[in-house]
């Protein structure tokens, strides 16, 4: 693991955008695994800025997102498709038909999960997977569990995750109860992983990810077994590991 402790959210975002830019420059037809949430917004903004300056070209890039709420259409302003369009895709020259997010409106979970796994395979896998991390150590919507789930699957969201995301909805009752997510197997199959964390509520999860036992109760801990992981975490998120590195 390469671990960067940085000052704050801005520095985390700059470094992350630098790594994603390098990936796209070195391999213009990269398959980027993308993430939603507050964490990557700053990095996406910097990628948009770089594109507008003429420094980045997304015309050959393909993207696959980690997850999507079940039951929300891509037009719902809290869907992850909407988030990706608003924060990145609408502002760069990526071809929309080459951007993939699980289909939240597909009722048949088994069908949608099989389709998504097949899609990732048909793209030749993910070159660089960007990840945020939940305060409970989740990656994508792989919540703490008794086992690691390999492929794309449907999950019941924990109360903790629904409460954390309720700030984006008018009430917690509106937060969907289920989601589709890539499994840890999909994430581990990515050739490179870039995990970002900002804020003191991520400190325990970052400690457990780096130093804890590899345990499905902290899904991100499996990244210890990946050969090419970069973690960029700000001071607050690094609080429990700073002295140990």
Q: Which stretch binds ligand PGA (CB under 6 A): 101-109, 111-119, 132-140, 187-195?
A: 132-140
Any catalytic annotation for residue 90?
no
CB-nearer residue toward ligand PGA: 12 or 133: 133
Contacts of 97 (CB under 8 A, 6+ apart): none
CB-nearer residue toward ligand PGA: 98 or 240: 240
Residues 19-38 that bind ligand PGA (CB under 6 A): 37-38
CB-nearer residue toward ligand PGA: 104 or 134: 134
Q: Which stretch binds ligand PGA (CB under 6 A): 42-50, 103-111, 128-136, 218-226?
A: 128-136
Shortest Å distance, C-beta 97 to ligand PGA: 26
Q: Return the SS3 of 137.
A: coil
Regarding 79 and contact with ligand PGA (CB under 6 A), the answer is: no
x-marked contacts with ligand PGA along 83-122 as a string, rule CB under 6 A = ----------------------------------------
Write out 93-109 in H/E/C secondary structure: CCCHHHEECCCCCCCCH
CB-nearer residue toward ligand PGA: 60 or 178: 178
Name the residue number minimizing CB distance to ligand PGA: 37
Catalytic residue among 67, 68, 117, 234: 67
Q: At 23, which helix (H) or strand (E)?
A: helix 9-26
d(CA 72, CA 61): 26
By CB neighbour count within 10 A (0-12 exposed, 13-18 middle, 19+ buried), where does 203 fall?
A: buried
According to DSSP, the β-strands at 229-234 and 128-131 are unpaired
User: What is the size of the binding site for ligand PGA (CB under 6 A)?
Assistant: 7
Any catalytic annotation for residue 97?
no
Any catalytic annotation for residue 136?
yes
> DSSP character for 227?
S
The CA angle 32-149-221, to the nearest 5 degrees, is: 75
Q: At 128, which helix (H) or strand (E)?
A: strand 128-131
> DSSP character for 17?
H
Return the bridge partners of 37, or none. Answer: none
Catalytic residues: 67, 136, 138, 143
Residues at the contact surface with ligand PGA, assessed by CB under 6 A: 37-39, 132-134, 138
């Amino acid at each position: 693991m390469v671990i960067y402790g940085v000052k704050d959210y801005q520095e985390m975002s700059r470094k992350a955008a630098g790594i994603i830019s390098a990936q796209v420059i070195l391999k213009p037809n990269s398959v980027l695994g993308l993430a939603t949430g507050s964490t990557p917004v700053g990095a996406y903004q910097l990628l948009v800025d770089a594109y507008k300056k003429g420094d980045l070209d997304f015309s050959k890039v393909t993207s696959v997102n980690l997850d999507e709420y079940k039951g929300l259409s891509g037009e719902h302003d809290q869907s992850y498709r909407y988030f990706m369009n608003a924060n990145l895709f609408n502002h760069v020259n990526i071809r929309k038909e080459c951007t993939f997010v699980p289909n939240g409106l597909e009722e048949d979970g088994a069908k949608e999960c099989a389709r998504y796994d097949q899609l990732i395979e048909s793209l030749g896998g993910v070159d660089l997977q960007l990840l945020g991390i939940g305060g409970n150590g989740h990656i994508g919507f792989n919540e703490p569990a008794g086992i690691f789930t390999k492929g794309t699957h449907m999950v019941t969201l924990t109360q903790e995750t629904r409460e954390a995301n309720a700030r984006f909805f008018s009430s917690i009752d509106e937060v969907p109860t289920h989601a589709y997510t890539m499994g840890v197997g999909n994430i581990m199959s990515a050739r490179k992983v870039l995990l970002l964390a900002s804020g003191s509520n991520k400190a325990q999860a970052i400690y457990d990810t780096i130093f804890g036992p590899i345990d499905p109760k902290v899904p991100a801990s499996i990244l210890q077994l990946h050969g090419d992981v970069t973690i960029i975490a700000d001071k607050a998120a690094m609080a429990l590991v700073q002295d140990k590195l």
